[in-house]
Every structure is written in structure tokens, then in C-alpha cells.
Structure 1
């Protein structure tokens, strides 16, 4: 077996794309067009992109990811598609620059599968998971400087409390922040195991018996802070909407309420008439730019959750571009 084939097999075995069939179903009316272009804003190991390229033979997919290891694995997996796959090392809020670099002004579909990828969770040395001991890293892009180790050892107790409460929605944020600062005064925290121990000391024993692992929310908060995820997402969804052709579709899957609320608000804002309240006639300029095509946030099926536990918290939303607010087209 060649190295490329081995990597392709590795990716298939390690990565089960979440809600794959539903994503393709929602995107199909837009990306089945001749010479269609789509953006996979969270390429990962390439599972969603591979399925799009296989099902829609006239489609070209632009695969964006900040993680160079993801590009290595996905690149090997998708090399058989030749120029129909265009990998770009970038963050998903850089869609305008990505399109400009390719000589494009718009696309027919955009897919976001948000949060941490299966690959990042599985590679222990990346430090994303609280289930085993590893360096406190959590960078999606290893070329960036900020790490979880720097945050827990350098942020003030007030800053730690803020991010753990805001990004992790953790009710014991004050206790955890105080315990982290107390612990690092004795010795710097350098591994996930050391951080988990500090969190377990801070969270009341009774609370640790319910609601999942006591470190789950703090790890989420640190990951979001390290990678500036919510700031990037708040820019990425409007950028994706602006990049769509008329009839183009945006599909986004989120895995916690902070992501989902950002996606929902951005879609609802563009799907709401801008006509003044009580205005007798809706002028063309006031008509919504989007039509939301999912009823609320769609969850995965029970069968999918049983086959892929990482799908359990997924929430899917989708919208279609129904009005252009600018000159568009490739």
C-alpha cells in the first residue's frame, strides 16, 4: 500500500462526517449546477469535501482549514480529484481573501462543520482532550503563538474567570480560576492532566457526579480563547452569506450553544425584512437576502448518534440566498 493510500484509509477510518447525507441534501440544489463552486470552510480530514466531489461531478470545492496537519491528510485523501479540489491554508473568516486569491467573487455553496475536529481530538499531543495527559496546547494552527499553557499560567484570575464563564458557560468559573492561579503559584501547569486535577479540586464533588466530565466546559473555553473561534465565526457567517450567488446555500453545523446562537442570529438578520415597522409596502431594497430552509436547529438522528457519538450535540442550520445586495457572479 502506498503512503497516500495509507493516509486515505487512515482518514476514512478515523473520520465519520457528521450529518453527511442531510448536508448534501440541503446543498444539492445549489451545487449540482454546471461549473459550481463550493467552500468547505472547515476541511478537517476531508470527509464532507470528498462526499461533495463524488456526488456532484461538475463541482469544484475550495477546502479551507487553519490546521496544516488537516491539509496533509485531506490532501492525500482528495488528490484523485485533481484541480476540482483547491486546498487553502486560512481561517474561515478569510473567505473574501480566499476567493480573491482564486480569481472568484462568489460561490454556490458554503459548508461549516464547526468546533474541534476528530483528528485534533484524537492526536494526543495537540492537548484538546481532557481524557488523557498531554501538553497544554490546543492550537488549531500550530504556527500561532498563543497556547492553553500560556493562558492558564499568564492570564489574571479575572481574565480566567471571564473566559471560563463566557466561553465555557461554566457556573463554577470563579472557583476554577482561583484554583488554577493557586496551583500555578506552586508550579506552572504544563499538561492537560495537571489542569484536570486543578479543575477537579475546584468543582464540588456532588457536581462532578452529573453533567459530564467536570473539565469539559473549561477545556472548551480555553480552546475557543486560544483559537479566537467565536470572533472568527462572527465574521465568517456574514462573509459566507455575502459570497453566495443567487440561489446559493449555506449549511452550518455547530456543537455548543455559543456557536449555534452566532449562526442563528446571522441567518435571521439576513432573513428579516429591513422595512420600517408599519411601512405599508415592502420595497425591493427592504426584502430579505436569505430564506431559512431548516426548521430551527436540526439534530442528528438517533441512529447517527449510535454510530458516531461525536454527532450527539450537533445542530444544523441552513439558508438560501434569495436576493443579491451587490454585483456578483464569477
Structure 2
């Protein structure tokens, strides 16, 4: 009998502390776990929030939705949607929004999901396996330039051109790629040098996963939606795991943490800042030692400063 795949939530206590804050009056607020995953953050939020509080979660993964069904708590609800659907919620309806942008360990470690080069499985990588195009389907028809662009932009891979050429050559010779192991082998053959300890396929797999799930576009949409959904004093807590995500979060918070002047009306009062940056947190040495996947995590916390428009 197969053992269930386990997931260790990164920055668990730190994220929930930042979200709920220290004010007891906030205990009965309305909270959002925008990326439920396997429910580590949601379960701790439920433990710490008040009896009249509410927690709404979002996730695209059907397996996450199945895991959420195990939570028997009338204060909790989940939507089978990506977190860009925060935009569907009423303005000023949440006291805090948590976004954990990491891929859960069960997703990575399940060969049938196709996220990892460590196992041979179908080349899928979709977060929501009920809809959309898999990586294999996209690679079957994508042009050389598009493949190279995705690998370069989303994987920050300097050998994007040679990798894309190897994929297209393989497709022309023997048909489309369908498995993760063969893709990893192709990448390894095209990458001339790599940082010590890093698999040559790491950046390419990251790039294809981000692209096929439109992860960066969805993050931008969700961040913009948070400005409307958060009440004054509401917290935005975001945990990122690679530089592309963290750069977007950092720039978003910085952009809205300053007054904005309209150059067309130089004497008009500035638009007030909409966020206040609070802190940046990295996992401690003990957490990284216990869970190496935590080593790249960065948590940024901000607070809503004005009544949503």
C-alpha cells in the first residue's frame, strides 16, 4: 500500500502570526487563504481565529479540493478556482489575505503530475488537471522561438536556445515529447555548465510549469485584487520561492507604499499610499535543516492603509 505523500508547510507560524496580528479584536475577522495547497496554513488559522470568524480558501488543484473536504468546520469554505478570483469578492470584505506561492510536496513528488525531473511521468505540470493544456500538448506544436522565450524568461536559463533546439529536433525526428525523464535528459545534453548541486533541468522545468499555469500573470492579478478586497488595517502576507515571484511582490508593495502625484495636476493633493510595508522574513536555520525546500522562501508582509475605492 502506498504511503500518502506528505507536505511540510513553510513559515507556518510566522505567516499565520503576520496574518492575524496580535490584536484580540481581530480574532473574529474574515480571512483568506488564497493558495490552500494541502491546508497547513488554513488549519492553523482555524485553530487561532475566533468562533465568529470566517476563512475562505482558493485552489486550482482537484487534490487540494479533496483535502479541504476533510476539514469539518462551519467557519471554513473553499473555491475550486485560482486566486486571481479574489477579484470576484466584495470590496473591503477581508481582514487578511495569505498567498503561499510554493508548489506543494505532494504535487512535486507524484510522478503522474509531471512536475519533477526526479521521476519519470507524463509531461503534464498543470495545477488544475481538469482543464487546460499540458506541457506535452504545448510542446507538440510550439515554435522554436516561443519555447526558447519561455525557458529564458520564466527559467532565467542562459542555455534557452540550445534547449529549445534540442526539443524541436527531437520532435522532428521521433514525434513530440511525452515524458519528464526524456525532457530532463534532453536538457542535460544541451546545458554545458551548471551550478554545483543543481540539476541541469531545474530551470527548464520551472519555466514550463510557470508558463503552462500562467503563474506570474495570476499573481499580478491577485495582488491587484487584494487592494480592493482588504479592509483598512488588513494584512497581505505573501511567501515566494523564486526570484521572479518575489520581484513582483516586492515591486508591488513598494509601488503602493508611497504617495502618488499626478504630473498632469501638479497642485492637486497626492493619492495616499495604499499599503505599508511591514517586514521581510526568511526561514531560520532550523527550518531549512528540517525542510531543505524552505531555503529559498521569502515572506513579505504589508498592511492596507486606506478605505478601498
- TM norm structure 1: 0.86
Pick from 237, 240, 245 the counterpart of residue 251 of structure 1: 237
Write out aligned runs for 1:274-313 (5 A): 274-275=260-261, 283=269, 286-294=271-279, 297-313=280-296
1:60 aligns with 2:54: yes
Quick check: 1:213 aligned with 2:199?
yes
Point out the more displaced range, 120-129 or 21-30. Answer: 21-30
Distance 2:23 2:32 in 1: 10
1:110-129 matches, within 5 Å, as 110-129=97-116
| Deviating 4+ runs (over 6 angstroms) | 279-282
- 1:216-268 per-residue CA deviation (whole Å, 9 max, x = no partner) reads 00001100111011111111111112210111000001111111111111111
Match of 2:301 in 1: 318
Give a deviation string over 1:250-299, Cα, whole Å, max 9, x none.
Answer: 0001111111111111111111111358x99994x5221110001xx422
**C-alpha deviations, 1:70-123, integer Å up to 9, x for none?**
1101321x22x2x211111111011122x25xxx85100000000322221122
What is the CA-CA distance between 1:124 and the residue it aligns to?
1.3
Q: Does 1:24 align with 2:16?
A: yes
- How many residues are matched? 303
Does residue 272 of structure 1 match 2:241?
Answer: no
Structure 1 vs Structure 2 CA RMSD: 2.2
Distance in 2 between the 1:184 and 1:31 partners? 59
Aligned partners of 2:59, 2:18: CA distance in 1, in Å?
Answer: 22
CA gap of 1:94–1:153, structure 2 versus 1, over 3 A, is same
| Alpha-carbon distance in 1 for matches of 2:80, 2:206 | 23
Alpha-carbon contact 2:122-2:180 (below 8 Å) kept = yes
Aligned-partner SS, 1:86:
strand
User: 1:161 & 1:35 partners in 2: Cα distance?
Assistant: 49
Aligned to 2:281, the other structure's residue is in SS state coil
Q: C-alpha separation between the residues in 2 aligned to 1:218 and 1:231?
A: 18
In the TM superposition, residue 164 of structure 1 has moved relative to its aligned partner by: 0.1
Which residue number corresponds to residue 184 of structure 1? 171
Is the deviation greater in 184-193 or in 169-178? 184-193
User: What secondary structure is seen at the aligned counterpart in 2 of 1:154?
Assistant: coil
Looking at secondary structure, tell me which structure has more helix per residue.
1
What is the match of residue 84 of structure 2? 93
SS of equivalent to 2:133: coil
1:41 paired to 2:41: no
Gaps of 5+ in 2: none
1:70 and 1:119 in contact (8 A); partners too? no
Question: What corresponds to 2:127 in structure 1?
Answer: 140
CA shift in 2, pair 1:282/1:56, >3 Å: farther
Q: Distance in 2 between matches of 1:264 and 1:145?
A: 30
- Mean CA deviation greater in 248-257 or 24-33: 24-33
Mapping of residues 157-172 of structure 1, within 5 Å: 157-172=144-159
Shift of 1:209: 6.0
SS in 2 for 1:232: helix
